[in-house]
Amino acid sequence: MLTKHLAQVLDTLNMKALLIWAVLLNFYKLLKTGDCTSKHDQVLSIQVTTHQQADIMRNISSQYETVLWSPASPEHIGADTEVHLFVPANNLGTVTDLLHTHHLTHQVLLDNTEELIEMQTRNESADPRSSTSYYERYHSLGDIYYWINKTAQEHSDMVKVILIGSSYEKRPLYVLKLSGRQERAEKRAMWIDCGIHAREWISPAFCLWFVQYSLNFYNQNNDITEMLNSMDIYVLPVMNPDGYKYTWTTNRMWRKNRSSSKESNCVGTDLNRNFDANWCTKGASNRPCDEIYCGQFPESEPEAEAVANFLRSHKNSVKLYLSIHSYGQMLLFPYSCSNEEVPNHAELFELAQEAAMKIRRHYRNNYKYGASAKTIYLAPGGSDDWAYNLGIHYSFTFELEDRGRYGFLLPPSFISKACNEALLAVKSIARRGASNRPCDEIYCGQFPESEPEAEAVANFLRRPQRLGLLESSHEAKAPRSSKLPQEKHCGSPGFSIFVTLILAVAAFTVSFMRHSASAFGFAFDAALDVLSSIIVVWRYSNAAAVHSAHREYISCAILGVVFILSSLCILGKAIHDLATKLLPEVDDFLFSVSIVSGVVCVILSVFKFMLGRVLTSRALITDGFNSLVGGVMGFSILISAEVFKHDPEVWYLDGSIGVLIGLIILAYGVKLLVDMVPRVRQTRNYERFE
Ligand code: 9B3
Ligand code: ZN
Ligand code: ZN
């Protein structure tokens, strides 16, 4: 006995020692990474204030083996520039010493970029518990080609694949053409390209996100449906496949394409300096080793040439050009290549402003906007300027998230937010840009959130991107997650579940005490309500799930089954009561219970209907219907008891209402199943592609 105790005490002591040891070890690590002798590659943020410092910074970034993240080229470094510089571990000491001697203050933006990179390339699909969808991960070039094929096959009615050319290393350049099922004469078109710059991984991720969202929500969501019915959308997911591949295999920081020539040992041309818009003037470089090398002549690069050829041959239909880049959070429009204002500057400014405002309102995120030359830097040869001069007078370049916190190494957990906010901007610009007049018959999508009250409710629901039920394991894996903006957990679905649960218990008690068919039906329905609320919480459990048509359909199908089951119970009980000629007993207690539950259920149902309408979610509307039925049942008890009091002949009202409601629920459940089962089958491959 004593020895056992002793052993226990010793064990605890051991544990304590171990704990202290571990704490000390971590402390040591912390101290070590705090100074500049990190063994890891880092990204530094350096504040340049004087012209002298700018000179020094330009020298450092060009003479040492570093990669300039921001600005794109040393020549854009001036006094008052915040420079983001990637420094490999072996150069870190030298570079930071230089910074110190020249009184350049710096901050470590990212330590251990290797780990971040590893996190981005990890194939999570192997983990079945992973709750992230295909679209919340980054994908290799091979995966993306596979996805293009698969998407076109599964949506052959809406998607066509067009081969517009090939890259320098002879990889195909595929464009997805999305069109609604409505034929309209003289259709306008929108062009979106992603992945001009290899290291900007969020850009191709956005193109994939955009395509899946459009296909899933066609005929589900008014603005997407209108957008696709009124115009064809050409999506080039990866404009620079060679460079993109290179960032996966060799150098994550690569920007240009992979072309080479005999004149130089350096590889790559900046595709966004290779277009014929003041080509290779100030803001581009004619040195092949530079990051903003403009190439040998305009459209010398096969990737730029292919895009230019395609747009030239479609310039009558394409009214809107969008090019997706990162990072910096900006909505830019021409010109980049000159300080001149374009003729419709005011209109483009307004469009960008409105889009930025929506992002701020919906996602609490700030995007800068304006003409490129004044907003970032003077840069000639860009695709947006060229497209503008071709006659596409709605031409934009988006710089997606973030503003430098992770830069090009934006963790996968940020993909959904970055894409959703950009999608909002695309929808906003497309709605007005597609027609010259603010609102004409060709396209004036009636946006579901035009009513401010509805929008406020939607924001409320959208804000907590993870409601907690499916809290994903990968969030824990993400480093520095403590510094991520914390999303508040939303108590409202939980509250709804709690309230209905109490009502259900109360109603069950009442129904057995008072032998009321309606009370029994109500009780069952309240229980059902709890279940359906849980299903709806699951449906919206994370940002990607919000856009998952598959989840929507599964939720509805499960609700259908639940509806059928409960309708059978309600019918059974009601018919039994009618057959045995059960008389409703009446007293104050019964009255108050029915009033309270009826009112609560009706309020809940109104709330759910409103949300469901705003989010165009059938699952939510169904859930609202469910609550409404609960409310009706509550009042039914009240009414039938009241009627019975005045006219004892009418004893069957409660039972009859029970039968009626049972039949309605049954019909609704069957309809849900009939509608949803084929759709669940259709969409089941969406989220697990590989
Ligand atoms: C550059 C140009 Cl040339 C343009 N027309 N629009 C935007 C930019 C900025 C991007 C670039 O290519 O440097 C930022 Se990644
Ligand atoms: Zn870019
Ligand atoms: Zn909205």
Q: What is the mean pLDDT of residues 550-564?
A: 82
Give nearest CA residue, ligand 1 atom 11: 272
Could you say which ligand is closest to the alpha carbon of residue 321?
1
| 21 pLDDT higher than 60 | no
pLDDT of residue 542: 56
| 466 pLDDT higher than 90 | no
Ligand 3 centroid to Cα of residue 446, in Å, is: 12
Q: What is the Cα 683 distance to its own chain's centre?
A: 18
| 350 pLDDT higher than 90 | yes
CB 415 within 8 A of CB 423: no
pLDDT of residue 666: 92
Ligand 2 centroid to Cα of residue 252, in Å, is: 14
pLDDT of residue 52: 93
- Sequence-distant (6+) residues with CB within 8 A of 430 are 190, 227, 231, 320
Tokens read off for 132: 């992230």
- Higher-pLDDT residue of 113 and 497 is 113
Ligand 1 site-directed mutation target among 253, 327, 397, most atoms within 8 Å of CB: 397
Q: DSSP string of 380-435?
A: -S-HHHHHHHHT--EEEEEEES-SSSSGGG--GGGHHHHHHHHHHHHHHHHHHHTS
Q: Is 303 a catalytic residue?
A: no
Ligand 1 atom at minimum distance from 380 CA:
3
pLDDT of residue 246: 97
pLDDT of residue 503: 76
Give nearest CA residue, ligand 1 atom 14: 325
Asked if the bond preceding 394 is cis, omega within 30° of 0, the reply is: no
pLDDT of residue 418: 97
Ligand 2 centroid to Cα of residue 607, in Å, is: 43
Identify the top-confidence range among 403-407, 526-530, 549-553, 658-662.
403-407
Crossing angle for the helix pair 549-579 and 618-646, to the nearest 10 degrees: 20
pLDDT of residue 477: 31
Give nearest CA residue, ligand 1 atom 4: 382
- Residue 175's φ and ψ, nearest 5 degrees, are -115, 135
Q: From the candidates 399, 401, 552, 687, which is the catalytic residue?
A: 399
Ligand 1 atom at minimum distance from 272 CA:
12
Ligand 2 centroid to Cα of residue 592, in Å, is: 65
CB 462 within 8 A of CB 449: no
pLDDT of residue 516: 67
Q: Across-strand partners of 330?
A: 368, 399
Could you say which ligand is closest to the alpha carbon of residue 361?
3
Give nearest CA residue, ligand 1 atom 12: 272
Ligand 3 centroid to Cα of residue 330, in Å, is: 19
Poorest-pLDDT segment among 103-112, 364-373, 499-508: 499-508
Residue 84, helix vs strand vs coil? strand
Poorest-pLDDT segment among 128-142, 210-224, 407-421: 128-142
Of the pLDDT bands very low, low, confident and very high (cuts 50, 70, 90), residue 613 is confident
pLDDT of residue 684: 52
Ligand 2 centroid to Cα of residue 546, in Å, is: 29
pLDDT of residue 537: 77
- Higher-pLDDT residue of 452 and 24 is 24
Q: What is the mean pLDDT of residues 107-116?
A: 91
Could you say which ligand is closest to the alpha carbon of residue 274?
1
CB 343 within 8 A of CB 213: no
Ligand 1 site-directed mutation target among 270, 336, 342, 410, most atoms within 8 Å of CB: 336
Which residues sit with Cβ closer than 5 angstroms to ligand 2, an ion?
197, 325
- Sequence-distant (6+) residues with CB within 8 A of 565 are 669
pLDDT digits (tens, 9 = 90+) for 187-243: 899 999 999 999 999 999 999 999 999 999 999 888 899 999 999 999 999 999 999
- Higher-pLDDT residue of 589 and 261 is 261
Q: Measured between alpha carbons, how far is 2 from 324 in angstroms, rounded to an integer?
A: 72
CB 227 within 8 A of CB 423: no
Ligand 2 centroid to Cα of residue 458, in Å, is: 33
Site residues for ligand 1, CB cut-off 6 Å: 72, 197, 272, 325, 332, 336, 372, 376, 379, 381-382, 384-385, 397
Q: Measured between alpha carbons, how far is 655 from 569 in angstroms, rounded to an integer?
A: 13
Ligand 1 atom at minimum distance from 336 CA:
5
Ligand 1 site-directed mutation target among 75, 77, 239, 272, most atoms within 8 Å of CB: 272
Could you say which ligand is closest to the alpha carbon of residue 272?
1
